A and B are shown apart, each in its own frame.
Chain A
């Protein structure tokens, strides 16, 4: 099937699918198809033709793009004006071993954000508005194209992390931000998880506005002894130096400036696990639980991001149920990011929700897509 490049074509496609009650998979860059419950052999709607930046107003801090615009294109167009996307999109291609083009809507739909989420939030925090086609085959708009808007229900929040189960996105408008001119990574080497995470939380609770706070055990970051706490700070040159001095004041003289390549993109993209065997989980918990949960999980390969609020864990498939149980006991969420189709079919992306919440999720899904045509069961 050829790629569609117009909203009207998508409307026709959805209406036909609706008439036939024929569910389909929405694809564009094909880098994240192996996430969530497998869809099986169903027809595909290829929206990769809906690509390109439609409007970019740097002085308004607003960018509108077609959904399948490559992220790389957006990042470079923004960088030329010293700006960045409102969120820190993560590229899971290496982790998932997928060849393709990472797109804007892919990152939005999978709520894929990296270490910068700590400071900048997720796609939900900067997606201002969108156009889409719902399961009735109706094209609609939601949100707005200005930076502050509370008119009507906040539907842009819903499409972030919905894995394409609510509508076919046809246009996205984002708030963008000035890009800091400088950054620095500080490292506290040879610290235990307890001490490393405690230091990260100290920075998280400071006024330093850190843009990355990760803990890497020694086997993930060789040469750092027990492990290393990493801190990313941003700013113009002089303010950055002051922040570094303040961080030294908070953490002591053992903190060193990390001169190698910025480690945070590889952390945020999950690339540390690209060549590690086993299933890959993202366990989201209250940051202060990180050392305890890391120990309880007992995984050979793991790391902590978001000041401990996110643990990346590699584990054999037999561990799935136990990981879910540990996360649930900590009031957290364990998301299964990389696994075989069979394991993903068993565990799903997330654990089953409490009945009332699950029912509400189903009702909201049905409010967009009553016949469950879009990516059925993926979320």
Chain B
């Protein structure tokens, strides 16, 4: 993936920019090489880029002042939470200010009466749950990185997780956000009343990948923890049988809290890694959670057991909390387990209609042979969200490029069968150049016009999400700033 070309004029002004930021955020500017190297990548670790400078504001007013300054000076901005993006959303720019939101990590209010929590963006996903679990509540979206990822990042990426089949993505669990716009204005959308009195801009900014504004406060919904959760593990001799089983469960009207699929390769790798007890020789394994009140869960479990048997699978139920945790520990260690098979790996993220699963799996096998690279499949079967893991060795000539090409072909395949490029990781830099596979020029133009409505200078996270960046055009006029076209330094990809 091509990184945007650096504006050397901005880089030349680095000392002035650092000094100006130190005035705005005293003691919160990182400008030395070793400090900056901490921020040179996110979880899409194949890409590295040192930021021009990193600033760590302590409150919304500092964020606002930084953005006013950046806007006046025409300096690109890259927002960052905990840096756990798998799509390169927080990859810095050599000519850009990286704004790290980690210092703003206060829980401002816990409101059990109205079932919500008000937090600053740097609070981790898991810490929201930790703050309310003693009272029997939790925050539903649970991305795998929840121990580290921040709620601000979750809003930016519209993060999902294992349980979004039943409980939705971040966007379905928010009541309000306060963001700072590119010009420094602070705007609140929604709140405890759950209404906005106009367009649903809360829905728009959620998942906008740092292209529209910087989140400085979030109101999230919290839910009462289900009194009963039961976990089943089902194994199948063929991938097709597992696919049929998933479709039959959904069609039956049961809504599991989670339904995870692993192919035989993933299961074998995991079993040798942390021995969760996955049956040897299975070609596919499903892990299914049902939660709710006792009778609801009993009913769901009995239906699922029956459907698994009808689909030719064998199911076992975790008998206690310890075994439940053990079964899940395998799924959660999928990354680490695959990491043993090869030094490097990329995790793809596309969604397909569930009925296309057998076809997609077959074609992936062919691609694997064609590219000469191994892979395995773990995915959120309930909602058709695939996470193929491609393994390679970056030290071997050409393997990284082949792995990227393999991954891109998988995503093209997802789109071909009626699916999408990203189910939960976002587009970022990783899938940017594939956007034209899914969207026409007119589709992208409409999205780009919205980008311009927020950020006419094109300073927010440039180079991410959109494959081509043209100037903001409105009613036939081009917005010209400082006698220059916006982002003249960016190539037209």
Contacts and interface: CB of A to CB of B under 8 A. Distances in A.
Interface of A: 57-62, 82-83, 111, 121, 124-125, 134, 138-142, 144-158, 160-162, 166, 177-179, 201, 204-209, 235-236, 238-239, 241-243, 246, 284-288, 309, 330-333, 335, 350-351, 353-354, 356-358, 360-361, 363-368, 370-371, 379
A160 to B, nearest CB: 6
Interface stretch (B72-80, B234-242, B279-287, B292-300): B292-300
Nearest to B424: A150
B293 A207 contact: yes
Given A146-B419, A235-B296, A239-B293, A153 B449 contact: no
Contact of B439 (A82, A152, A358, A360): A152
A148 B294 contact: no
Nearest to A358: B198
Given A361-B198, A368-B449, A146 B384 contact: yes
The 3 A-B residue pairs whose C-beta atoms are closest, nearest first, are A157-B203, A178-B253, A363-B453
Contacts of A241: 295
B425 A150 contact: yes
A207 B450 contact: no
A150 B201 contact: no
Contacts of A83: 253
Contact of A379 (B199, B206, B444): B199
B26 to A, nearest CB: 27
B112 A367 contact: no
Contacts of B438: 144, 151-152
Nearest to B382: A147
Give the interface centre of B197, B353, B422, B423 by most chain A CB atoms within 10 Å: B197
29 contacts: A59-B251, A60-B355, A82-B253, A124-B200, A138-B445, A141-B443, A145-B418, A148-B384, A150-B169, A151-B422, A153-B204, A153-B447, A154-B203, A155-B447, A157-B171, A160-B200, A166-B199, A178-B255, A201-B114, A207-B226, A235-B295, A238-B295, A243-B296, A333-B193, A350-B197, A353-B197, A360-B453, A360-B454, A364-B204
Interface in B464-491: 465, 474-475
A331 B109 CA distance: 16
B453 A209 contact: no
A142 B195 contact: no
Contacts of A160: 200, 203
A150 B380 CA distance: 15
Contacts of A205: 112, 115, 137, 224
Given A146-B352, A147-B384, A138 B199 contact: no
Given A146-B352, A205-B115, A242-B296, A284 B443 contact: no
Contacts, number: 255
Given A239-B293, A351-B197, 4 more contacts: A152-B447, A178-B252, A178-B253, A178-B254
Interface stretch (B5-13, B179-187, B334-342, B399-407): B179-187
Given A208-B293, A287-B113, A333-B197, A150 B224 contact: no
A246 B293 contact: yes
Nearest to B417: A146
B423 A148 contact: yes
A351 to B, nearest CB: 6
Nearest to A198: B113
A286 B158 contact: no
Give the interface centre of B164, B255, B351, B385 by most chain A CB atoms within 10 Å: B351
Interface residues of B, number: 94
Contacts of A141: 439-440, 443
Contacts of A156: 203
Contacts of A161: 199-200
Given A148-B164, A154-B158, A367-B453, A309 B207 contact: no
Contacts of B201: 158, 357, 360-361, 364
Contacts of B255: 177-178
B222 to A, nearest CB: 9
A293 to B, nearest CB: 10
Contacts of B265: none
A151 B187 CA distance: 25
Contacts of B157: 150
Given A333-B195, A357-B189, A360-B187, A158 B253 contact: no
Nearest to B172: A125
A357 B296 CA distance: 43
Given A58-B251, A151-B438, A286-B114, A157 B204 contact: yes
B193 A285 contact: yes
A366 B473 CA distance: 11
A125 B200 CA distance: 12
Contacts of A242: 293-296
B158 A350 contact: no
A31 to B, nearest CB: 22
B243 to A, nearest CB: 11
Contact of B168 (A57, A125, A284): A125
A356 B187 contact: yes
Contacts of B203: 124, 154, 156-158, 160
B454 A356 contact: no
Contacts of B452: 367
A365 B450 CA distance: 9
Contacts of B445: 138, 140
B227 interface: yes
A153 B197 contact: no
Contact of A144 (B169, B251, B420): B420
B354 interface: yes
Interface string B293-313: 111101100000000000000
B260 interface: no
B299 A236 contact: yes
A309 B383 CA distance: 30
B351 to A, nearest CB: 4
Contacts of A351: 197
B454 A331 contact: no
B62 interface: no
B370 interface: no
Contact of A364 (B185, B194, B199, B296): B199
Nearest to B297: A239
A156 B171 CA distance: 12
B81 interface: no
Interface string B418-449: 11111111110001000100111011111101
B113 to A, nearest CB: 4
Contacts of B435: 151-152
Given A207-B293, A286-B193, A331-B191, A153 B419 contact: no
Give the interface centre of A147, A350, A368 by most chain B CB atoms within 10 Å: A147
Given A178-B254, A350-B198, A288 B113 contact: yes
Contacts of B421: 151
Contacts of A333: 193, 195-197
A364 B453 contact: yes
B185 A286 contact: no
Nearest to B157: A150
A330 B168 CA distance: 28
B261 to A, nearest CB: 14
Nearest to B349: A150
Contacts of A153: 204, 207-208, 447, 450-451
Contact of B250 (A59, A82, A125, A367): A59
A370 B475 contact: yes
Nearest to A327: B193
Nearest to B224: A207
Contacts of A162: 199-200
A335 B446 CA distance: 29
Contact of A151 (B189, B296, B383, B420): B420
Contact of A353 (B198, B252, B444): B198
Contact of A142 (B207, B383, B446, B449): B446
Given A148-B380, A160-B200, A351-B197, A367 B450 contact: yes
